Amino acid sequence: MTGTDYAAGTDSTADTHSTARAVPVLPSRLNRALLAVVRIGVGLLWLQNVGWKTPPNFGRGDPPDGLYLSASYAVSDPVLPPFAWLMERFVLPNFTFFGWMVLLVEAALGAFLVIGLATRFWALIGIAQTVVIALSVLNAPHEWYWSYLLMLLVHVALFATAAGRYGGLDGLLRPEWELSRSWAARWLVRVS
Amino acid sequence: MAGAGLMNWYRRLDRAAIVLGLVSIMSAAFVFVHGTFQLVQIGTVGLVVALVLGLLAIAAGWLAERTLLIAAGVGFLLAATVQLVLLAGGGSGFLGGNASTFSLWLGLGAGLIAIGLVPRPEAIEETSQA
């Protein structure tokens, strides 16, 4: 996907689109391309893995599997006692609702990180979702805790570098959003 | 100079729409891929959706036609919504996809609509004349 690959930021509204290319954040084309690869790769991680979240039961049954089994590790192999209590009392008994929330959040993470739209916002959501997953399965059998730490760190990197500006729609559309006075455009400037 | 930059920017928007269309067409290949590397589940009807809407997005970008861009985007969002409803019923349904398919079509739809909502020269001229 094409993008401006630059941090847009000019005072003049007349030539914002043309001068937005004047301030490169990452000077190397290779570095910008690599950052786009990282963002798309992380998006594909979410996109593929939302595929095994299967409604309407999300694996709740006898024996449990899928998302319900993963979530139940928070209780059987607790990482943080207050989180285990929350899962046991509220999440597992109302699992259909929380299963749908997980499906929608992870599908949106995949969708928006791949195209690079509102990337910094979705990087923050990715951090939050990674923390929830880590608190659920970190002590489960055969888990490698660095997997979740790496997931967390890569989302921090996407946020810190505003990765959607490189080969993503954020980079392409920011000049237009900066010219607009609508609340949606102002929000998109902040989260892109 | 600013005008040339602006036209160049519009061309980049159109190229982005073409890329999104190409992504949809490439995703059709997953009808043949199963197992570890199946990023997205595409069934027979889903294959038709991916090809038709992908070609529509490419045509929209090629012709720089805003209405077609938005139509392709809305088409992907509709397909994503139908897939989600079918999943809620407990299976892949006639589209043959899964939640990954929903995610892909959501991204393509949102991206095409975001590009399509950018005002083009005709709209700008009409606004300035008003």
Mean pLDDT of chain A: 90
What is the pLDDT at residue A54? Answer: 95
- What own/partner pairs with CB < 8 Å and gap ≥ 24 does A123-132 have? A123/A155, A123/A156, A123/A158, A123/A159, A123/A163, A124/A155, A124/A159, A126/A42, A126/A46, A126/A151, A126/A155, A126/A158, A127/A152, A127/A155, A127/A156, A127/A159, A129/A105, A130/A155
Chain A CB contacts of B102 under 8 Å are 50, 107
Residue A103 and residue B85 in contact, taking contact as beta carbons nearer than 8 Å = no
Flag whether pLDDT at A8 surpasses 80: no
Greater pLDDT, A3 or A172: A172
A175 vs A120, A123, B6, B86, B111, CA distance in Å?
17, 21, 10, 39, 16
Query: What element of type H or E holds B100?
Result: helix B99-116
Query: Cα B40 to the chain's mean position, in Å?
Result: 15
CA–CA separation, B123 vs A60, rounded Å?
A: 52
Q: What is the pLDDT of residues A32-56, one digit of tens each?
A: 999 999 999 999 999 999 999 999 9
CA distance A100 to chain B (A): 9
Chain A CB contacts of B8 under 8 Å are 18
Q: What is the pLDDT of residues B66-88, one digit of tens each?
A: 999 999 999 999 999 999 999 99
Q: What is the pLDDT of residues A87-140, one digit of tens each?
A: 999 999 999 999 999 999 999 999 999 999 999 999 999 999 999 999 999 999
CA–CA separation, A54 vs A50, rounded Å?
A: 9
Q: What is the pLDDT of residues A142-183, one digit of tens each?
A: 999 999 999 999 999 999 999 999 999 999 999 999 999 999
CA–CA separation, A52 vs A45, rounded Å?
A: 12
Indicate the burial class of A123 (C-beta count within 10 angstroms; 0-12, 13-18, 19 or more).
Answer: buried
Residue of A nearest to B21 (CA): A1
Cβ-based interface (< 8 Å): residues of A facing B: 1-4, 14-15, 17-19, 43-44, 46-48, 50-51, 53-56, 103, 106-108, 110-112, 114-115, 117, 169, 172-173, 175-176
Closest listed residue to residue A21, CA positions, set A158, A161, A166: A166
Question: If you average pLDDT over residues A3-27, what whole number do you get?
Answer: 50
Flag whether pLDDT at A20 surpasses 60: no
CA distance A93 to chain B (A): 19
Residue matched to tokens 């946020």: A159
Q: State percent of chain A over pLDDT 70.
A: 87
Closest listed residue to residue A99, CA positions, set B79, B15, B99, B58: B99
Indicate the burial class of B129 (C-beta count within 10 angstroms; 0-12, 13-18, 19 or more).
Answer: exposed
Residue matched to tokens 């290779």: A30
Sorting pLDDT into bands at 50, 70 and 90, what band is B123? low
Of B6, B88, B107, the CB nearest to A55: B88
Tokens of A131: 């923390």
Closest listed residue to residue A39, CA positions, set A192, A190, A187: A192
Number of Cα atoms under 13 Å in the Cβ half of residue B53: 28
Do residue A51 and residue B40 have CB atoms under 8 angstroms apart?
yes
What is the pLDDT at residue A9? Answer: 42
CA–CA separation, A30 vs A18, rounded Å?
A: 22
Nearest-10 crossing angle of helices A95-115, A29-49: 160
Sorting pLDDT into bands at 50, 70 and 90, what band is B4? confident
Chain A CB contacts of B111 under 8 Å are 115, 117, 169
CA distance B99 to chain A (A): 5
CA distance A56 to chain B (A): 5
Query: What element of type H or E holds A123?
Result: helix A119-137
Q: pTM for this structure?
A: 0.89
Residue B82 and residue B114 in contact, taking contact as beta carbons nearer than 8 Å = no
DSSP A13: S
